[in-house]
Structure 1
Amino acid sequence: MNAQILTSPQVPAQNSTPLLYKLLVVLGMVALMGGSLTGVMTYINIGYSETFLSDWFSSFLIAAVTVIPAGIFLMTLLTKAVEKILPNTSETKRNLVVGVSMAIIMESAMALTTTLNNVGFDSLGLFLSTWLHSFLAALPVALTLILIISMTVKPKIEQFLKS
C-alpha cells in the first residue's frame, strides 16, 4: 500500500504593515486634528502676535501628550459602546454618532488645555469666557474635520492599523 503524503501548497506569508508606517499615520492625524484646533483656539485666546507660533506650539504639545492619547482611548471605547447600543444601525450612522461625540469631547478638552496654557487660571470668569469662545470658534473646524475623517478616512485607517 502506497501512502501519499499530502502537503499543502506554500501560502506566502502576509506582510503586515511596518509599525513605523502605522505610527506615522497616527502622528499625521494627531498633527492635522490637534494642530489645526489648537491653532484656532490659540488665535481666539490671544490673537496673532510675535509669540503666536510658540504659544500655539506649546498648546499643541500639551494637547498631544494629554488630550490626544486620552481621546484615542475614548474613541475606542465609544466606538465599541455605539456598536453595542446601535447594533442594527449602519456603520456610516454609527461613525457619524462617534464622530460628532468625539468632536465635542476632544474639542472641549483641547479648549481647556489651550486656554489654561495661554490665559491661565487667575480669573475664573476670564478663563471660562475664553474657554467658551475658543470652543465655539473651533467647533465648525472640529465638526468638519471629524465628520470627514469619521465618514471616509477612519474605516481605512482602522483597516490599515490592523494590517
Structure 2
Amino acid sequence: MSKMLQKIAIIASLVTVMGGTLTFVMTWRNLGFGDDFMMSWLSTFALCVLCIAPIGGVISYLVHRLVDGTLPNVSKLKQDLVFGLIMALIMESIMAVVTTINLHGWLAIEAFIKQWGVTFLAALPMGIVFSMLMSLVIKRRLTAYLVKA
C-alpha cells in the first residue's frame, strides 16, 4: 500500500470510529433502537462526515491559534487540554445540529433547541474523551507519522 493510501486509511479510520460512535449515541438518544435506527444512524453519520470533514481542519487550526494566542505562558499540556475541550464543544455542537435536523427536520426554534440540547449532552462526555485522546496522544503520534511517512 502506498504511503498516501496509508495516510488516508488512518484518517478515515479515526473519522469512522469517532464520528460513527458519536452519531450512534446521538441517534440512539433521539430514536432508541427501532426498526429505522440503522438507516437513520447511517444517514446521520454520512451527513456529519460531509459537514465536518471540510471544516474540521479549519476549525482545528483556528482553535489552535486562539489557544496559543490567549494562553502563551501556559504549558503545552494545559494548552492541549483547553484545545481538546474547545474542539469537543464545537464539533459536538455541529454534529448535534446535523443530527437533530436529519432525524427531526426543521422544528420550531424552541423544540429544536430542546432536541439539540438532548442530542448534544448525550454524546458530549464521549466527545470530550475522544477529543482529549486526540489532542494529548493521537495528534502527536499522527503528526509524527504523517511527516515521516
TM-score (norm 2): 0.91
Normalized per residue, which structure has more helix? 2
Runs of 5+ consecutive residues of structure 2 not aligned to the other structure: none
The number of residue pairs the alignment matches comes to: 147
Matches within 5 A, 1:1-163: 18-163=3-148
- The one-letter code of the counterpart of 2:118 is H
Deviation at 1:69, TM superposition (A): 2.5
| Aligned residues: CA RMSD | 1.5
Superposed structure 1 runs of 4+ greater than 3 Å apart: none
Runs of 5+ consecutive residues of structure 1 not aligned to the other structure: 1-16
Deviation at 1:103, TM superposition (A): 0.1
Preserved CA contact (<8 Å) 1:34 1:68: no
Deviation at 1:83, TM superposition (A): 2.4
Using the aligned pairs only, state the percent identity. Answer: 35
Q: Per-residue displacement from partner, 1:88-132 (whole Å, max 9, x unpaired)? A: 322211111110000000000000001100011143332221110
Q: Per-residue displacement from partner, 1:121-162 (whole Å, max 9, x unpaired)? A: 143332221110010111111111111221111111122222
